[in-house]
Amino acid sequence: KIRGCIFDLDGVVVDTAKYHYAAWKKLADELGFYLSIEENEKLKGVSRMESLDIILKIGGIENCSQERKRLLAEKKNMYYLEMLSDMGPSEILPGIVELIKSLKMKGCRIALGSASKSAGMILKRLGIEELFDEIVDGNDIKHAKPHPEVFQTAAKKLGISYEKCMVVEDAKAGVEAAHACGMCCIGVGSSEALSAADFHVESTAELSNIFTVLV
């Protein structure tokens, strides 16, 4: 039986994955190349600086100094935060609040496991931070997904062994991170990138169907 559930943030709890993509795309446009939605899959779950390295590679931009990289990453984050500026509770993905409440009623402990440094701010803005027993975000970890550190840290904080934790993810790197520490993973979204997940749903609204047999 599952005793702990660790939710990714962007693209699982809130519909912010589209803003990460839009902000990277705007940066790529300025650098003079097109960032496709397929290529964007590689950026999901990956840290800001690692995402930038992937972007620069896609655009064939070499010999970028550390200082320029820092400025470019800062610029992307500025675009991202601007896009979030009128984000409201309607950005919370379907069924998530109800699902977390019902899992807690059944005694399941809940954590957030995100690579984003803005995760805490986003939960606060939406008024849903209280739903989570523990929050681990990009400020708490050294290695982003596919490294399992974020999920390992979350499980330790919850006090639950890895094999009794379920991860919910929309990113290939997130599924890999869960598997790297022996956790099961539900992939959310229509993407082929999720083929390695143990379970798969198209939309967060369908997650509760899977949990009824697991918790």
Residues numbered 173 to 212 that lie near ligand BG6 (CB under 6 A) are none
Compute how many other C-beta atoms are within 10 angstroms of the C-beta atom of residue 157: 18
Report the residue from 14, 23, 170, 204 that binds Mg ion according to the rule CB under 5 A: 170
Q: Which residue do the tokens 């496991």 mark? A: 113
Active site residue 8: yes
**Phi-psi label, residue 98: left if phi above 0, alpha if psi -120 to 50, beta otherwise:** alpha
The DSSP bridge partners found for residue 185 are 167
The strands making up 165-169's β-sheet, listed across from edge to edge, are: 134-136, 109-113, 4-7, 165-169, 184-188, 199-201
CB nearer Mg ion, residue 8 or residue 133: 8
172 with 194: CB under 8 angstroms?
A: yes
Burial 164-193 (b: 16+ CB within 10 A, else e): bbbbbbbbbbbbbbbbbbebbbbbbbebeb
Using DSSP's 3-state secondary structure scheme, residue 51 falls into helix
The token pair that represents 195 in the structure block: 């083929």
Closer CB to Mg ion, 52 or 115, in the complex: 115
Binding piece for ligand BG6, criterion CB under 6 A, among 47-55, 63-71, 97-105, 182-190 = 47-55
Q: Which of 138, 181, 182, 208 binds ligand BG6 (CB under 6 A)?
A: 138
Please tell me the distance from the alpha carbon of residue 70 to that of residue 48, in angstroms, as a whole number: 10
Question: Could you say which of 6, 13, 14, 43 contacts ligand BG6 (CB under 6 A)?
Answer: 43
- Provide the mask over 87-116, with x wherever binding to ligand BG6 is found by CB under 6 A and - wherever it is not: ---------------------------xxx
Tokens of 190: 């229509």
- Tell me whether residue 76 is annotated as binding: yes
Residue 45 or 148: the one with the smaller Cβ distance to ligand BG6 is 45
Q: Which of 2, 3, 5, 11 binds Mg ion (CB under 5 A)?
A: 11
Binding site residue list for substrate? 8-10, 24, 43-48, 51, 76, 145
Residues that bind Mg ion (CB under 5 A): 8, 10-11, 170-171
Residues that bind ligand BG6 (CB under 6 A): 9-10, 20, 43-48, 51, 77, 114-118, 138, 171
